[in-house]
Amino acid sequence: MAITKIEAHYVEIPLPADFHPSWVPGLTMTHNRCLVVQVHDDSGHTGIGAGTVFEPRQAELGAYVAADLIARFLVGADPFEIEKHAKLVTRFALMVGGRPWPVECALWDLMARISGVPLYKLLGGARDRIRTYLSFGESLLTKDLGARLDAIDARREDGFSAFKLRSRSADYRDDVRQMEAVRAHVGDDVALMIDCNQGWNLSPLGAEWSYEDAREFCRAAGDLGFRWVEEPRHRFDYEGLARLCAEVDVSIAGGELNQGLHEFQLLLDGGCLDKLQPDACLAGGTLMVKKVAALCEARSKGFSPHTWTNGIGLLHNLHIACGVPNCDILEYPFEAPGWVPDARDALLLDPPRPAADGVLAVPQRPGIGCELDPDALKRWGTPLTG
């Protein structure tokens, strides 16, 4: 069997309302924008992957790297030689850029479809469903406390019992007050986490806490029984993260943008994180994320993939989370009224939804278990390959 063709599309799906991501303070998102990659083989199967982009020119670079440069080596090759292909994608990502990870993810979908099994079974088949946590995307900068409590109430009625808040206030004490208010509102039976998004700063409007601010914030989160604090420091502040892990009781999580096995090895060797959160489609690819899970297993560290890209990215990371033995909860992005599941998953036919207890079952059809909606791709997509 052989790969015959790689296609790429830039897609922009309108959101039902503006969305203000906590990770880029000041940015208003009106669309779910992504680069969709399809890998075809000579048996008639097609694998799909998708990554986040901010604008069309970023998608053009990604399409050039994934569906032109990398394709020159992949077309004619056996899709199952994934160690070789993943290394190739990593080298192009580091040398040329363009975040071409969706092509590696598409290869995994293709392998599973050729094999006639759901992807999570190729990845280890540890479980067929997983508890989700509702991951909000806006901080107090754009959503006040009353609206946050109302959103939690609405999602609890949907069945969710675990929530991740966002923290980007210039004064960390404002976000401590947010944590206190939410804990008082939901009681002790609801699992709470908070993401500070200090790991990467794309906007000068974003607060950058001192080490001491981060430490006091983490201590407050621990006192309130939060399950983890995510990215309280920049992702390359290895010493600061290690000091935090040593000086606070709450778990420190991160890793969504680290994109090489060696970076994760450094983080583990340095005692920088208690929980690692790689993302196959955002940075690194499926093979690397599976290897990171093994590193975490060997060191008894937490592992829970990041998933905030789009519906296709969520599915790929769901399959990894259920393939490996050491993941007990998965991120489920949802921030009404802008970033809602229907807009997030608009490219997919019949996307999975959590059950009334917040547990998400893996689709049992081959591959990632969902098909691209050809009408949606035609309506919102622009072909970037000939």
| Contact footprint for Mg ion (CB under 5 A) | 195, 230, 256
The smaller minimum CB distance to Mg ion, of residues 331 and 345, is found at: 331
User: Within 10 A of 173 (CB to CB), how many other CB atoms are there?
Assistant: 12
Kindly state the tokens that stand for 206: 């974003």
Q: Please state the closest distance from residue 56 (CB atom) to Mg ion, in A.
A: 25
Compute the least distance from the CB of residue 374 to Mg ion, in Å: 32
Minimum distance from residue 80 beta carbon to Mg ion (Å): 32
Q: Which of 182, 187, 244, 198 is nearest to 218 (CA)?
A: 244
CA–CA dist 241, 336 (Å, integer): 32
256: number of CA atoms within 13 Å, CB side? 22
* CA of residue 257 relative to chain centroid, distance: 9
For Mg ion, the closer of residues 38 and 307 by Cβ is 307
Q: Using CB positions, name the residue nearest to Mg ion.
A: 195
Is residue 86 within 8 A of residue 287, CB to CB? The reply is yes
**Nearer to Mg ion among residue 109 and residue 175 (C-beta):** 175
Peptide bond connecting 21 to the previous residue in cis, omega within 30 degrees of 0: no
Q: Which is nearer to Mg ion, 8 or 34 (CB)?
A: 34
Q: How far is the CB of 9 from Mg ion (least distance, A)?
A: 26
Q: Which is nearer to Mg ion, 38 or 258 (CB)?
A: 258
Within 10 angstroms of residue 264's Cβ, the number of other Cβ atoms is 24
Rounded to whole angstroms, the Cα distance separating 22 from 92 reads 29
What is the closest distance, in whole angstroms, from the C-beta atom of residue 308 to Mg ion in the complex?
Answer: 7
